[in-house]
Structure 1
Amino acid sequence: MEFLLSGVAAITWQQLVMYGIGGLLIYLAIAKGFEPALLLPMGFGAILVNLPLSGVLNQTMEGVGDVNGIIQWLFETTIESSEALPILLFIGIGAMIDFGPLLSNPKMFLFGGAAQFGIFFTILLAVLFNFDLNDAAAIGIIGAADGPTSILVSQIMHSRYMGAIAVAAYSYMALVPIVQPFAVRLVTTKKERLIRMEYNPASVTKITRILFPIIVTMVSGLIAPQSVALVGFLMFGNLIRECGCLGSLSDTAQNTLANLITLLLGITISFSMQAEAFVNAKTLLIMLLGLVAFVFDSVGGVLFAKFLNLFLKNKINPMIGAAGISAFPMSARVIQKMGLKEDPTNHLLMHAISANVAGQIGSVVAGGVVINIVSQILKNMA
Structure 2
Amino acid sequence: MEITPLNPESIQNALNQLRDWFPEQAATLKKHNDELVQNILKDTEPDPNSPLGKLAEQPANVVVIPTPSAANAKTAQLVQSMVIPGAKITELSDEELFDITKLYTPCTKAVGKAMLSSGLFVLSMVGIRTSASDRMYHAFLAEFGPVADKFTRLFNDFDKANTAYQKGKLMFKIGGGLLKASCFKAILKSWAEEASWFDWVTASAFAIAQFTVWFATEGVAFIAEVVLLLANAGFLIKDIANAVSVCTKEECAPLAAPSVTFTAAGSFINTADNVKLILSAQCKNIEGKYIDSSLDISKLAANTQIDNNNGVLVISKAAGTQADTFKPVGSYRNSSQNIKVTLSASCLNMKGNRVDTALDVTDLDIKHEIANSNGQLKAE
What is the TM-score of this pair, normalised by structure 2?
0.26
What is the TM-score of this pair, normalised by structure 1?
0.26
Whichever structure has more strand as a proportion of its residues is 2
Of structures 1 and 2, the one scoring higher in RCO (CA 8 A, sep 6+) is 1
Which one has the largest radius of gyration?
Answer: 2
